[in-house]
Structure 1
């Protein structure tokens, strides 16, 4: 079976595993090689408030996008075929709200628990999602939906 016959973007890893791996790695590195540029995770301070807001916003964004996929009748899991292009809800502002939610949640958890390595891992996670997942998904959706997907590319940013 050739790549053109496979009806999915052939991502090398399921996307939620990337933020999970980043978080686990951040915890291990924080234990082995502590940095100290965040406030200690004691009490309710501005860092914790921002972190909680980022976690809540990230979860809300990802969950809203997931529910929208389900309501529109297309597959959420990227190893399954895309059945349609979703352009409403958060997809009006970003083509990747689920992945953006994952990035925001990692940053938020890192702030709440003062995981300096998590803060450092956040742009690495964003880059990994962009290069390993999003680029493949975009190429697949271009092949599958052509002009319909091109229109979305022209009016909606990849991330923000």
Structure 2
């Protein structure tokens, strides 16, 4: 399978990744709300539990709402997307460690890890918007970690808002590309 065909197959199977970005954004928004109301540790627990649900929920949305087909068997980009999950595990471990010794760094560390992972989705879906998304989240996480800029709300709320907004952009760009073909 050629790379372009594999990317088109993944884009069709996962609605260009828009449902996953949307669900992730909603999880971050919920975690940010929990953080605001109940503290950083409880907010992080909400992010962890919600994070487990992102892939199954986005797959359900792709299949039920958008009637997306399954990816072709043997599509190598499916494996790449799965392998990039190890970046999340590393970020989760670091964030959990920060939670114990420097709680203010837990969410920024996770934001950077999520941002870095999104760079891989440029290749998975063949869409440079994932570089924009990954860069935005890494910058938000980095700024929150080094505290040079005082953010107007907690990091989780900003990450969630960026993801929700860009999920709409990804979806609309996909519709525009489909209409052009």
TM-score by length of 2: 0.33
Which one has a larger percent helix, Structure 1 or Structure 2? Answer: 2
The structure whose Rg is larger is 1
TM-score (norm 1): 0.36
